[in-house]
Structure 1
Amino acid sequence: MSGNIVARRYARALFGLGVKKGDSQIESFGKDLAALSEVFAASPEVSAVFRNPIFSAEDKKAVVGKIMDKLEIQGAVRNFCLLLADKGRLDELPGISSVYAELLDEAQGVKRGVFVSAVKIAGKKQGEIIQQLEDQLKAKLVLDFEVDPDILGGVVLKVGDQVLDASLKAQLSILKETIRRGE
Structure 2
Amino acid sequence: MPETNPQVAEIAAALRMAREARAAVDAIPSRYAGGLMALARERYERGDAGIHDRIAQGLDAVAAAIEQNAVFRRTLESPLIPAETQLKAVLAVLDDPATGLSVPREVRNFIGVVVRNRRAALLARIIAAFRALDAERRGEEQAEVVTAVPLDDTRRAQLLAALNRAGHARVRLAERVDPAILGGLVLKLGSRLYDSSIRSRLQRLAHAMKGAA
Task: Tell me by how many angstroms 1:142 deviates.
Answer: 4.5
CA distance in 2, matches of 1:44, 1:81: 18
Task: Tell me by how many angstroms 1:26 deviates.
Answer: 1.4
Task: Tell me by how many angstroms 1:53 deviates.
Answer: 3.6
Alignment partner for residue 64 of structure 1, among 85, 90, 98? 90
Instruction: Verify the 8 A CA contact 2:61 2:103 in the aligned structure 1.
Output: no
Instruction: Verify the 8 A CA contact 1:68 1:74 in the aligned structure 2.
Output: no
Is residue 74 of structure 2 the alignment partner of residue 48 of structure 1?
Answer: yes
AA in 2 matched with 1:102: A
Residues 95/160 of structure 1: CA separation in 2 closer, same or farther (3 Å cut): closer
Residues 160/95 of structure 1: CA separation in 2 closer, same or farther (3 Å cut): closer
Tell me the SS of whatever aligns to 2:33.
helix
CA distance in 1, matches of 2:76, 2:192: 36
Is residue 113 of structure 2 the alignment partner of residue 83 of structure 1?
Answer: yes
Task: Tell me by how many angstroms 1:94 deviates.
Answer: 0.5
Query: Which residue of the partner structure matches residue 104 of structure 2?
Result: 74
Query: Which residue of the partner structure matches residue 9 of structure 1?
Result: 31
TM-score, normalising length from structure 2? 0.53
Structure richer in strand, relative to its length: 1
Residues 113/62 of structure 1: CA separation in 2 closer, same or farther (3 Å cut): closer
Instruction: Verify the 8 A CA contact 1:57 1:88 in the aligned structure 2.
Output: yes
CA distance in 2, matches of 1:18, 1:68: 21
Instruction: Verify the 8 A CA contact 1:112 1:142 in the aligned structure 2.
Output: yes
CA distance in 2, matches of 1:79, 1:15: 14
Between 1 and 2, higher relative CO (CA 8 Å, sep ≥ 6) is seen in: 1
Residues 5/141 of structure 1: CA separation in 2 closer, same or farther (3 Å cut): closer
Query: Which residue of the partner structure matches residue 37 of structure 1?
Result: 63
Instruction: Verify the 8 A CA contact 2:33 2:130 in the aligned structure 1.
Output: yes
CA distance in 2, matches of 1:30, 1:143: 13
AA in 2 matched with 1:63: A
Q: Give aligned pairs, total.
A: 141
Query: Which residue of the partner structure matches residue 139 of structure 2?
Result: 109
Structure 1 residues not aligned, in runs of 5+: 115-121, 145-157, 164-183
Residues 133/143 of structure 1: CA separation in 2 closer, same or farther (3 Å cut): farther
TM-score, normalising length from structure 1? 0.61
Counting aligned pairs with the same residue, the percent is 21
Task: Tell me by how many angstroms 1:161 deviates.
Answer: 5.4
Tell me the SS of whatever aligns to 1:4.
helix
Task: Tell me by how many angstroms 1:37 deviates.
Answer: 1.2
CA distance in 2, matches of 1:98, 1:133: 25
Structure 2 residues not aligned, in runs of 5+: 1-24, 145-153, 175-187, 194-213
